[in-house]
A and B are shown apart, each in its own frame.
Chain A
Amino acid sequence: MTTLSASPTRMSTPARVGLHALLLFFSTIMLAPFAVMFVVSLLPNTAFLARDFSPANFSLNNYIRTFEAVPFGRYYLNSVVVSVSVTTVQILISSLAAFAFARLRFRGREAIFLFYLATLMIPFPVTLIPNFLIIKNFGWYDTYLALIVPGLFSVFSTFLLRQYYRGIPLDFDEAARMDGASSLRIWWQIIVPLSGPVLATLAIFVFQGVWNDFLWPLVVTTSENMRTIPVGLAAFVGQYSTAWDLLMAGSVIALLPVLVIYVLGQKWFVQGIALSGMGGR
């Protein structure tokens, strides 16, 4: 991403003020839900419903009650275990396959890759039900395996990395082969280090997709101990449909760590998400 200073024309002062006003307006809309979430999470329900914002009402009580009512710690652990393992293993597996598709010469390569590409268009709902049945058949229902294993194989990641790997000059490989390096060594010591930035952005992209995924964990988990954050949060809504104080506290608990990480590493997040745009082109 190029620097932002290289913009077309300088602006006049009134235009600048107008632009800031517009951008601030958008900022308010984007931030208001977070602000409401936070404020309501500090108030008793009755005080919020009466719109009584006197300072005496504010407290962290709701957070204590929420933690007592819902095992958010466990949801967090599940989300971390699932997201980290899916992200790392998916990228490893995809990188290996992408390396072969881009740089090894074997019979059937193009045909298999075409087969991969043909499935890129298939939407998730088509595979949802059979995958649920497959998972049940394996005896993985309501386990980490159900949450993790189907996520390890991504045609999109493979495709994206293959495109990138094709851009690296083949001379690198051949020189290494002269020195007696194996393919595995070339992959791990030449290709992977050269693709650091693309791996990092892909990792963020995959991670945030898995972290926020809702439908699949909803379908394959049932016990409270296996819920990820989004599913746990949704179940929480079912139990406390109008207890706004608890719901908002729960939402803040679910969001805060991610938002903090995002603010600290926003450049990577933005690139990671924009990467899907690059993949499409």
Chain B
Amino acid sequence: MTPLSPSHRPFRWRPDQQWEGYLFILPSFAGFLVFIVLAVVMSLGISFSEWGLTGFKNFAGLLNYRQLLRDPVFWQTFWNTAFYIVTIVPLQLALGLIMAVGLNQAIRGVTVYRLIYFMPVVTTIVAGAIVFRLLLATNGPVNNLLAAAFGLLGLPFSAPNWLGSSDFSKWSVVILTLWKNTGFTMVVYLAALQGVPKELYDAAHTDGANAWQRFRNVTLPLISPTTFFLFIFQMIGAFQLFTEPFVMTSGGPANSSLSVVQYIYLAAFRDIRMDKAAAMAWVLFIFIFAFTLFQNRMQKRWVHYESE
């Protein structure tokens, strides 16, 4: 990312473009000031106040944050969210990469496969969640299939309660998210794979490397910047999961699938605790920021950038 790299030629201020410049950014900047800058400042303010239905009540200092740190439900939602991250992110990268590598071969029907894999991405997640509620119901098609499969193998089978037990509810959310988002990962990977120069494969081929070695030593390093981008992107997405558990499990049972953002929503709009909700949003931000920073530091170890 080089947003501030020097321009094409020596940079000089042009007085005649001074007012024009401001005019051009005015619409954007006005909205930016209200809905982003003002909002961020307000959010900080609310998180340090006692803020009720009728607005500001008192200055509260760190009270909201201190309450949060001792709130077991808040930590449970963080634990749930951590579970979502460590399952969804790697599974999605792996599945997306497998699909992309499969589609990057000289075979027929690539366009059709791609069309199909990408279909859930354009689907409204609410509709997806509704169908998965049906698929994963105790007496639903997934359990019917599993029972049949176990029956064929002669194994005992007790139908998992996907949506109604705290052992499985998180997995239900994971399954839905994978179905919905893997197509996206696949498309981004596919674009990256097509950018890998053919000559490098040919060279590896002549050196006697087999397909796996070529993949391991040529492809993976060359697409590592894409992996890094997808990793960060999916991680931030998983941190902010809301609709999937909201529609599918309502966060239950026993808060077992409740995400952080869902808890923020409940605090603000069910419990009328705008102050607590704002504080939670900031803690979430700090977590996301810290993880991204950490990954950014770590990337030197495994992300391979071509020298430009």
**What is A's interface to B at a CB cutoff of 8 Å?**
1-2, 4-11, 16, 19-20, 22-23, 26-27, 29-34, 36-37, 40, 49, 51, 93-94, 96-97, 99-101, 104-107, 109-110, 112-114, 116-117, 119, 121-134, 149-150, 152-153, 155, 158-159, 162-163, 166, 169-170, 183, 187, 208, 211-212, 214-215, 219, 229-231, 233-234, 237, 244, 247-248, 250-251, 254-255, 258-259, 262-263, 266, 269-270, 273-274, 276-277, 280-281
Using A159-B3, A233-B130 as known contacts, say yes or no to A129 and B36 having CB atoms under 8 A apart. no
Q: Is B151 an interface residue (CB 8 A)?
A: no
Using A4-B110, A166-B7 as known contacts, say yes or no to A254 and B124 having CB atoms under 8 A apart. yes
Least CB distance, B173 to chain A, in whole angstroms: 15
Kindly identify which residue among A124, A231, A266 contacts B240, using a CB–CB cutoff of 8 Å.
A124
**Interface SS majority for chain B:** helix
Residues of B within 8 A of A266 (CB): 111, 114-115, 118
Kindly identify which residue among B107, B120, B124 contacts A16, using a CB–CB cutoff of 8 Å.
B107
Using A10-B106, A263-B115 as known contacts, say yes or no to A93 and B121 having CB atoms under 8 A apart. no
Q: Is B247 an interface residue (CB 8 A)?
A: yes
**Interface SS majority for chain A:** helix
Least CB distance, B165 to chain A, in whole angstroms: 18
Residues of B within 8 A of A113 (CB): 3
Using A97-B28, A128-B264, A155-B32 as known contacts, say yes or no to A123 and B14 having CB atoms under 8 A apart. no
Within 8 A of A (CB), among B112-143: 113-128, 130-135, 139, 141
From B34, which residue of chain A is reached at the shortest CB distance?
Answer: A134
Kindly identify which residue among A96, A230, A251 contacts B27, using a CB–CB cutoff of 8 Å.
A96
Question: Do B126 and A214 touch (CB < 8 A)?
Answer: yes
From B230, which residue of chain A is reached at the shortest CB distance?
Answer: A277
Kindly identify which residue among B22, B105, B191, B232 contacts A19, using a CB–CB cutoff of 8 Å.
B105
Using A27-B117, A266-B118 as known contacts, say yes or no to A117 and B3 having CB atoms under 8 A apart. yes
A-B contact pairs, 15 of them (CB 8 A): A9-B211, A22-B102, A23-B99, A96-B28, A99-B24, A116-B32, A123-B240, A155-B32, A187-B24, A214-B126, A230-B125, A233-B130, A251-B127, A259-B122, A277-B233
Question: Do B229 and A244 touch (CB < 8 A)?
Answer: no
How many residues of B are counted as interface, with CB atoms below 8 angstroms from the partner's CB atoms?
Answer: 112
